[in-house]
Chain A
Amino acid sequence: MAKNDHERVRELLSAYVDGELGADERRTVEAHLAACPECQKEHEEMARFERVMGKMTFKSPPREVWELYWVSVYNRLERGLGWIFLSLGAIVLIFYGGYKALAGLLHNPAVPFIIKAGVLLALAGGAILLVSVLRERLFVRKRERYKEIEI
């Protein structure tokens, strides 16, 4: 029984030091500790480790950072919205302008057929390239996200 206790306490000791054991398990550990010098030593070393770890804290930024934090986030939110509207508007205008220019060109009898065909082919090629690049960015990047990093 004592042997079993010893093994079990070894497993529980880490959680005991962290104050994460229920009352029953805590009593088991404490009873065993009182009688086992080996576990006592282990417990002391663990407690010492916890004391040093307890002193590990990150450096705090100046208080102003917290005071201005929300304003900063809010401004970025607002600016993001501004960018979205601006880009959407620009996309609409560019497509409309492009469509008008293309329609004008194709309907103009003065422009030779070879130029019209060239413009259409170039546009088709551009569209295929755009879709291909977008697909690569959206799918390949997602899958390989953290492969090469080690931190």
Chain B
Amino acid sequence: MRQPAVRQGELVMGPLQLAKAKKAPPQSELEALGRVKAGDTQAYQFIVAAYMKRAYFIALGFVHNQEDALDISQEAFIKAFRNLRAFDLRRPFFPWFYEIIKNLSFDNLRRRKTRQTVPPDIPLVLESSEEDWETRQALWKEINTLPLEQREVILLRYFQQLSYQEIADTLGKPLGTIMSTLHYAKARLRKSLAPHFHRQGDQESG
């Protein structure tokens, strides 16, 4: 197996911590954040490793472009790092971080709109495979016509596999609101899919 470029807790030497001795990696998110706040930049690696995939895919869900999603997710970590001093550690980190990613994604879309870039192909965003591919492409298009609050819930539920409670925490909304938003979003998606399902049903029976 190939060695990963950077192992957890390993020092990446740079001017910022040449003078610092090696420390044990943080054991929890709270400890890591506390240490970063106290000036230990290296402890931030714990946070980045824990949230990098989620950050990337959340951005991808909004901007539909892999390169931009990577850039936005990394920028979000930098922005969070710079604003951590003002962040209250008694609050959960992820909802705050989610808001940063979302804001950066919208900034990106606004800039892109003025640049008039062509929207990317679906196969560049979605994992493609033979089975149900056509249905999934139709579904993806339909997801992107949903109002933002429904789309957010769908993205968090199906692309981030968050539970209802986690979605409620992330968006700072009551659980009941999430349940009903999800219910309406699903109903609309199912309705749009009905022709696809019928065609498939015919194939299955025929």
Contacts and interface: CB of A to CB of B under 8 A. Distances in A.
Contact of B48 (A60, A67, A70): A70
B106 A145 contact: yes
Name, among B41, B164, B186, the residue most crowded by chain A CB atoms within 10 Å (CB to CB): B186
Given A57-B159, A77-B81, A49 B189 contact: yes
Given A58-B127, A59-B125, A70-B48, A49 B190 contact: yes
Interface string B60-84: 1110001000100011011001100
A69 B54 CA distance: 13
Interface in B133-170: 135-136, 139-140, 144, 148, 157-159, 163-164
A55 interface: yes
Nearest to B3: A67
A146 B106 CA distance: 7
Interface residue range, chain A: 35 or more
B190 A70 contact: no
Interface string B10-47: 00101110000000000000000000000001001100
A52 B200 CA distance: 12
A118 to B, nearest CB: 39
A146 B104 CA distance: 11
B7 to A, nearest CB: 10
B148 A67 contact: no
A37 B131 CA distance: 29
A49 B158 CA distance: 12
Given A14-B182, A52-B136, A20 B109 contact: no
B5 A15 contact: no
B99 interface: no
Given A53-B139, A77-B78, A149-B106, A61 B70 contact: yes
**Shortest 3 CB-CB contacts between residues of A and residues of B:** A67-B5, A57-B127, A14-B183
Interface of A: 11, 14-15, 18, 20, 45-46, 48-49, 52-61, 64-78, 80-81, 145-146, 148-149, 151
20 contacts: A15-B164, A18-B182, A52-B139, A55-B129, A55-B136, A58-B159, A59-B123, A59-B124, A61-B70, A65-B56, A66-B52, A67-B6, A68-B6, A69-B52, A69-B74, A70-B45, A71-B5, A77-B44, A78-B15, A149-B106
Interface of B: 4-6, 12, 14-16, 41, 44-45, 48-49, 52-53, 56-57, 60-62, 66, 70, 74-75, 77-78, 81-82, 103, 106, 109-110, 113, 123-129, 131-132, 135-136, 139-140, 144, 148, 157-159, 163-164, 179, 182-183, 186, 189-190, 193, 197
